[in-house]
Amino acid sequence: MSALLPTYQRHNIELVEGTGSFVKDTQGITYLDFMMGIAVCNTGHRHPYVEQRLKEQLGQLWHTSNLFESSKQERVATLLTENSHLSHAFFCNSGTEANEGAFKLIRKWTQKTEILSFSQSFHGRTFAMMGATGQEKVKEGFGEMVADFKHLVFNDLSSLDAITEKTGAVWLEIIQGEGGVIVADDAWLEALMKRTKAYGVKIVVDEVQTGIGRTGSRFAFEQTPLKPDIITVAKGLGSGFPVGAIITTAEAATIFTPGTHGSTFGGNPLAMTAAEATLDLLLTDELLHEVQEKGNYLMRRLAAELPETSLHSVRGRGLMIGIEFERPVAGIVQALQQVGMLVVSAGPHVVRLLPSLFVTREELDLALEKIKQVCQQEVMV
């Protein structure tokens, strides 16, 4: 019997080693990893530069407290905000925690309790973030949610009429990850931006999954007409080391003043070393451009070469890709494991591909071969 609370339905595989795009299990079986801990290891497994920097930091200092100055936090905050309208960061330990902090910030900043989020969205598992999330299955059995959040239809122009002077914030993902890799339309975002501006409503963009180069720009919002007041990040920020952040404008510095928010571990020297090394590697124009090119290449070939009989659509941006099938994909995810490839689903019909941002063309081609092989088997069944 397991000593763990059964909150996860686990695959019968234990991974014990990882290098670049590959992981190995306890049986010595190697897998091409196209889920990367669900969009976490954006630099691949154990990138030598991140590993070296962490080793150095392990020999210096592991933890102090946010009661002391931190030039490392300053440096990471600068990397996350330079050349943008955003200028301030708060460090925490996960995506949910970043969102929970953003929720507090919005409450105090706007003094309003109505926040609009969207159907199929996912924002985390704390009590408030269950409320923000637009998926019933996440809330089942937990009773009344925090009343602040109302859910609108994603990508629907008329739903934006709900934004009024009563609204404190609109809260969204640019590409809904857990919801099925659903990309927000630019025209819809344009209208959302206009309407929020007209009513003085704040915009919170949850970049927990889309951020840190995943979509081919530092953050996904940078490829859209949106100018958010707050973004939240986590997942890819630490290359596998737990770290999250709220990133916002200078005005928020008058709201989150001493004593209003905090975290014991948030921004500790190990987390900041992982984040700084990750950002040094990923935030180059060359790498971000390559992410776009590699993503376009993979999407183009998937759309052209997968058997049409079972395929609904291929979509995404950069290296955040969803393949929607007509039928449930649980069998495809398992069949891919059997041919040595790891992917994660996004809802019942979508296979999500989230490879390392350093994935090579050869690895993309290998992934294509494996996916094609499994889809052809599925068509035959």
Ligand X SMILES: Cc1ncc(COP(=O)(O)O)c(C=O)c1O
Q: With CB under 6 A as the contact rule, which of the stretches 112-120, 202-210, 221-229, 274-282 interacts with ligand X?
A: 202-210
- Identify which of residues 208 and 335 has a Cβ nearer to ligand X in the complex: 208
Q: With CB under 6 A as the contact rule, which of the stretches 42-50, 94-102, 163-171, 277-285 interacts with ligand X?
A: 94-102
Q: Is 122 in the site for ligand X (CB under 6 A)?
A: yes
The C-alpha angle with vertex 362 and arms to 361 and 363, in degrees rounded to 5, equals 90
Q: Is 151 in the site for ligand X (CB under 6 A)?
A: no
CA distance 100 to 129: 7
Q: How far is the CB of 133 from ligand X (least distance, A)?
A: 9
Q: Beta-carbon neighbour count of residue 121 at 10 Å? A: 24
- Identify which of residues 97 and 290 has a Cβ nearer to ligand X in the complex: 97
Contact between 32 and 22 (Cβ < 8 Å)? yes
Q: Total binding residues for ligand X by CB under 6 A? A: 14
Q: Beta-carbon neighbour count of residue 209 at 10 Å? A: 29
Q: How far is the CB of 97 from ligand X (least distance, A)?
A: 7
Q: Is 117 in the site for ligand X (CB under 6 A)?
A: no
Q: With CB under 6 A as the contact rule, which of the stretches 4-12, 118-126, 312-320, 344-352 interacts with ligand X?
A: 118-126
Which position among 54, 128, 138, 208 is part of the footprint of ligand X (CB under 6 A)?
A: 208
Q: With CB under 6 A as the contact rule, which of the stretches 50-58, 70-78, 201-209, 333-341 interacts with ligand X?
A: 201-209
Query: Which residue has the closest beta carbon to ligand X?
Result: 95
In the chain, which ranges are E strands? Answer: 15-19, 22-25, 30-33, 88-92, 114-118, 149-152, 167-172, 175-176, 182-183, 202-206, 230-233, 244-248, 311-317, 320-325, 341-342, 344-345, 350-353
State CA 190 to chain mean position distance. 22
Which position among 18, 37, 44, 95 is part of the footprint of ligand X (CB under 6 A)?
A: 95
Which position among 94, 120, 337, 356 is part of the footprint of ligand X (CB under 6 A)?
A: 94
- Identify which of residues 8 and 68 has a Cβ nearer to ligand X in the complex: 8
Three-state secondary-structure class, residue 353? strand
- Identify which of residues 177 and 216 has a Cβ nearer to ligand X in the complex: 177
- Which two three-digit tokens encode residue 130? 């269950």
Query: Which CA distances in Å does 262 have to 246, 259, 273, 347?
Result: 12, 7, 20, 34
x-or-dash string of contact with ligand X, 170-189, rule CB under 6 A = ---x---xx-----------
Q: How far is the CB of 251 from ligand X (least distance, A)?
A: 24
Q: Is 124 in the site for ligand X (CB under 6 A)?
A: yes
In 141-259, which ranges are E strands? Answer: 149-152, 167-172, 175-176, 182-183, 202-206, 230-233, 244-248
Q: Is 358 in the site for ligand X (CB under 6 A)?
A: no
CA distance 248 to 230: 4
- Identify which of residues 96 and 110 has a Cβ nearer to ligand X in the complex: 96
Q: Is 37 in the site for ligand X (CB under 6 A)?
A: no
Q: Is 234 in the site for ligand X (CB under 6 A)?
A: yes
Q: How far is the CB of 52 from ligand X (least distance, A)?
A: 25
Q: How far is the CB of 200 from ligand X (least distance, A)?
A: 25
Cβ contacts of 72-77, under 8 Å, gap ≥ 24:
72/267, 72/269, 72/272, 72/273, 72/276, 73/267, 73/272, 75/272, 75/276, 76/245, 76/267, 76/272, 76/275, 76/276, 76/279, 77/245, 77/247
Specify the DSSP class assigned to residue 162.
Answer: G
x-or-dash string of contact with ligand X, 307-346, rule CB under 6 A = ----------------------------------------
Three-state secondary-structure class, residue 381? coil
Binding site for ligand X (CB under 6 A): 94-96, 99, 122-124, 173, 177-178, 206, 208-209, 234
